[in-house]
Amino acid sequence: MLTFTSDYIAGAHPQVLAKLVETNLENLSGYGTDIYCQSAAEKIKAACALGDEADVVFLAGGTQTNQIVISTLLAPYEGVIAAQTGHVSLHEAGAIEYSGHKVIQLECKNGKLEAGVIRDFLRTYHADENKEQMVLPGMVYISFPTEYGTLYSKSELEGISAVCKEYEIPLFVDGARLGYGLESYDNDVTLQELAALCDVFYIGGTKVGALCGEAVVFTRGNLPKHMSAQVKQHGGLLAKGRLLGVQFDALFSGNLYFEISRHAIEMAEKLKTLFKEKGYDFFIDSPTNQQFVILENGRMKELEKEVNFCFWEKFDDAHTVVRFATSWSTKEEDIEALGKLL
């Protein structure tokens, strides 16, 4: 069975796994204080061109990371601005609200917030005489790439960053698929530029080569106080923090994180070409590892017998939008095999 269901269908990249095996019997201190967490943090800061002002915290998964970053950076009475289709808005089972904060959902295009829309919202909020009865917007959350595979251009990021600075609220970039964004052929922003434009972001591991793990980068001396205690309070502190440190140490040794991301993009481009050649329509033009294809329902049923992919949404009564995802683990032969089925 061919499988393109998601970008978390395989285990870890072999080099990541090898590092886990290699270090397995070393005796290390707990809760993220070990040498691999430290080493990985240093490598990540170097890759981001950040110095001592930056802090790196390793967490196990994306929803956990969004919940912890948002709730530790916001005041208890603040909410977070996000796209209506943002992961925190729709697909985290209410994890942000569970931590007491409103997700202020703004309209978006192709999964992306626009600087102008954010500025208008903030201006209107601050001009409202009844604003103390509303939730104070205390952060902007965007995803890079977005949930629809789309990317913010450097100038779009600069625009959003400028609004955040104007209103003195942090910009948080969810990088669950960061590698696939950075390595996209369409991307024009570097990791260093991204780090400079936001206050906090995370480098996704779960979807990019790790068994689990996200590396959160607080870029400017803004690590929340007592962060280790707060992570534990949220249930997110792993006793064997090494599990995350070792994996990110491997991913940021040499250029591994970027190379394996590049592979996923190359596979996605092949897949895209394939669908185009066969005359399929795309729901959205995605330059990253997630491709959203519109399938006629009968065709979909047929295809499901030999390929796993992901239901996305109903398109119309006769068609469905489905997602095909590539990843570091996608094999070229699988793309070719898929081609024969289309």
Q: Which of 30, 53, 276, 277 binds a second copy (CB under 8 A)?
A: 30
Q: State whether the Cα torsion 70-74-75-78 is positive or negative.
A: negative
The answer to whether 313 touches 175, Cβ cutoff 8 Å, is: no
Q: Which is nearer to a second copy, 143 or 161 (CB)?
A: 143
The answer to whether 201 touches 172, Cβ cutoff 8 Å, is: yes
* Residue 254 found at the interface with a second copy (CB under 8 A): no
Q: Which is nearer to a second copy, 17 or 284 (CB)?
A: 17
- Closest CB 271 distance from a second copy, rounded Å: 16
- Closest CB 230 distance from a second copy, rounded Å: 5
- Closest CB 137 distance from a second copy, rounded Å: 11
Amino acid residing at 159 = G
- Closest CB 201 distance from a second copy, rounded Å: 18
Q: Which is nearer to a second copy, 3 or 253 (CB)?
A: 3
Q: Which of 132, 168, 317, 333 binds a second copy (CB under 8 A)?
A: 132
Q: Which is nearer to a second copy, 159 or 241 (CB)?
A: 241
Strand 171-174 and strand 200-204: pairing? parallel
Residues in the chain: 342
Q: Which is nearer to a second copy, 235 or 254 (CB)?
A: 235
Strand 290-296 and strand 281-282: pairing? antiparallel
Whole-angstrom Cα distance, residue 295 to residue 5? 15
Interacting positions 218-237 with a second copy (CB under 8 A): 225-226, 228-230, 232-237
Q: Which of 55, 56, 57, 67 binds a second copy (CB under 8 A)?
A: 67
* Residue 15 found at the interface with a second copy (CB under 8 A): no
The answer to whether 244 touches 32, Cβ cutoff 8 Å, is: yes
| Residue corresponding to tokens 């950075």 | 182
Interacting positions 136-175 with a second copy (CB under 8 A): 136
Q: Which stretch binds a second copy (CB under 8 A): 55-63, 109-117, 181-189, 265-273?
A: 55-63
* Residue 85 found at the interface with a second copy (CB under 8 A): no
| Residue-wise burial string across 26-45, b where 16 or more C-beta atoms lie within 10 A, e elsewhere | eeeeeebebebbebbbebbb
Whole-angstrom Cα distance, residue 250 to residue 76? 37
Q: Which stretch binds a second copy (CB under 8 A): 40-48, 108-116, 122-130, 262-270?
A: 122-130
Q: Which is nearer to a second copy, 230 or 253 (CB)?
A: 230
Q: Which is nearer to a second copy, 151 or 325 (CB)?
A: 325
- Closest CB 144 distance from a second copy, rounded Å: 18
The answer to whether 141 touches 174, Cβ cutoff 8 Å, is: yes
Q: Which stretch binds a second copy (CB under 8 A): 42-50, 93-101, 156-164, 181-189?
A: 93-101
Closest residue by Cα to residue 203 from 237, 172, 177, 242: 177
Tally of CB atoms within 10 A around 278: 11
* Residue 35 found at the interface with a second copy (CB under 8 A): no
Is the peptide bond between 76 and the residue preceding it cis, with omega within 30 degrees of 0?
no
Chain centre distance of CA 277: 30
* Residue 54 found at the interface with a second copy (CB under 8 A): no
